[in-house]
A and B are shown apart, each in its own frame.
Chain A
Amino acid sequence: MCHTWPHAVEFPILLLTCPSLDLAQRSNNVIEFDPKVNFSNIGSSQHHVAEKMTRKIVPDIALSRVEKRFDGEDRTTLALSETDLKIPGGEFLVLLGPSGCGKTTLLRMIAGLTRQTSGTILIGSENLWAGGKRNPKATGNLGVVFQDASLFPWLSTETNIALPLKFRGMEKEARLSRARELCKTVGIAGFEKAWPRQLSGGMRQRAAIARSLSYDPSILLMDEPFGALDAITRDQLNLEIQRIWLAQGCTIIFVTHSITEAVFLADRVLLLSPRPGHIDTEVVVPFSRPRTNAIQELPEFQAIVKQLRDRLEVIT
């Protein structure tokens, strides 16, 4: 297997330094590993996506000519310049980039929390914004996990997790038993009755994930969910997010500024670049699922990390 490896490393670097990087043009650079390369433990992630599609109907997300400007008092900031993006149902997409590159803005626009200045976002065939309002047909199947968990401190852990179901009119007993089940899924069984303040940072984030999963969303958006956690907890939760994603068959769009986290989790990494925010580079990550932390030691893994890091140094 080793004789093909140097080729695989050179190939992406070659692409990264090619003239299409001209920022004025702002075309996305696609890095893909040579499909002929056959690593023993690397399967096709695309194949995996296709497998899950048969289990659950997950809508595609399509952004066309989406742009976001923030109007200040003396000048207008272009947070995200015109962007086209297609996210097939069931994909694990990671948005990676330095602060100020517009990755959170992009995520918040897909969540319908911030409205784009121009362009359209479709979830399935539904427009995210209809008649000036967040369209419930498009957003009803959307879950968001925020960096600071945003649990309601006046609700116990299980009632927090059950809250979305309460809003949907589910009976109390049914929704609480679902919440308790989810506590087991995310590994916080035994803390159902605890107040959020009594939980550790990692546990709060697990509870927030459980809350987002409660209504079985087909699209899960995660905005640096583990950004405030220590490295050990982070590694654990990354593994669990993968497990949950494999079990749920949903689309995950995950924002991070950690390169290794991005490469570990993603089917596809989009590297965003600041001033103005835009998608700079696209990397397809080929490792098979489920991935373990051991893959981080593979030279192939480290090569992708290095490419991204080198590119990050250029753009920041």
Chain B
Amino acid sequence: MIPKRFEISWITTPLLLIVFLLAWHFYVVHFNVSKFILPPPLAVWDSLIELLNTASTWRHTWITVYETVAGFLIACVVGVGLGTFLGKVYWLERTLNPFIIATQVVPKVALVPLFILWFGFGPEAKIIVAAVLAFFPILTNTVLGVKSVERGHRDVLTVLNATRWQSFISTELPSSLPTILAGMEVGIVLALIGAVVGEYLGGSTGLGHLLVASLNDYKVGAMFAVIFLLSAIGFVLYFLVGSLRRMMIPWHESVLLKGPNVAS
């Protein structure tokens, strides 16, 4: 581990958070805001503790995480697989491009009722929604990555008489990894959105359902607590995919910048 230098943001960021919470608190107290509109931070905190102490919360959380991750993984496999294929086979990309653009511009959330109709109220429909949302950034980034292999690298492979497979494994795949992983970072966030939106509209499990149920019971504090929990999940998942990036492409500028230079 490289010893870290003290950074001013270690103080300023928590300070800003405290200022925000105080402002929230005084706004609610001073203007006498109804707790059905905006509960004070301490009430949200109590709701959060209560929520975390409820056994069923963990079941809902688990289901949302499961749907998100499963959808994301499907999107990764299909997106990277198809993207590699499209990036390599020029005529296929030209043929499919209008369709890809057409499916991109359709507001996919509008398709959620359709998926529920087809796949029922269980987690399958939500996994599909999560996968569909996460799929496109991964696909387009993979196509872009596979196509943008440097000319100099292609020349080296030609000179070495590398086979197609050798070229793919040694060059096309690693050189497109940074763009693919950037697509995955967007994809994981979209997968969570997909899962939650799916839960809004159908079924009786997951944090999205819990959110709607809290609304129906006028438990605004609980709503904020669920939102907080969802944010935390999003944060953790995003962080995990980000760590994957640092692990898989330690050579890349975006990761390397933080390390020491061997020679300059």
Contact = CB atoms under 8 A, between A and B. Distances in A.
B171 interface: yes
B152 interface: yes
A198 B256 contact: yes
Interface in A147-180: 148, 150, 152-155, 163-164, 166-167
Interface string A112-144: 110000000000000000000010100110111
Interface stretch (A52-60, A77-85, A189-197, A289-297): A189-197
A225 to B, nearest CB: 13
Interface residues of A, number: 30
B263 A191 contact: yes
B261 interface: yes
A194 B163 CA distance: 27
B205 interface: no
A171 to B, nearest CB: 16
A50 interface: no
A154 B256 contact: no
Contact of B249 (A111, A136, A154, A191): A154
Interface in B20-43: none
Interface stretch (B53-61, B153-161, B234-242): B153-161
A194 B27 CA distance: 55
A167 to B, nearest CB: 5
Contacts of B150: 150
B253 A136 contact: no
Given A111-B159, A167-B162, A195-B251, A154 B174 contact: yes
Given A136-B161, A154-B251, A146 B256 contact: no
A113 B155 contact: yes
B108 interface: no
26 contacts: A134-B158, A140-B161, A142-B159, A144-B156, A144-B159, A146-B152, A146-B155, A146-B156, A150-B150, A150-B153, A150-B155, A152-B170, A152-B175, A153-B251, A154-B175, A154-B252, A163-B160, A167-B161, A167-B162, A194-B262, A195-B256, A196-B251, A197-B256, A198-B256, A199-B262, A203-B263
Interface of B: 150, 152-153, 155-156, 158-163, 166, 170-171, 174-175, 177, 249-253, 256, 261-264
Given A154-B249, A166-B170, A198-B256, 11 more contacts: A134-B158, A146-B156, A150-B153, A152-B170, A153-B252, A154-B177, A163-B170, A167-B161, A167-B166, A191-B262, A199-B262
Interface of A: 111-113, 134, 136, 139-140, 142-144, 146, 148, 150, 152-155, 163-164, 166-167, 191, 194-200, 203
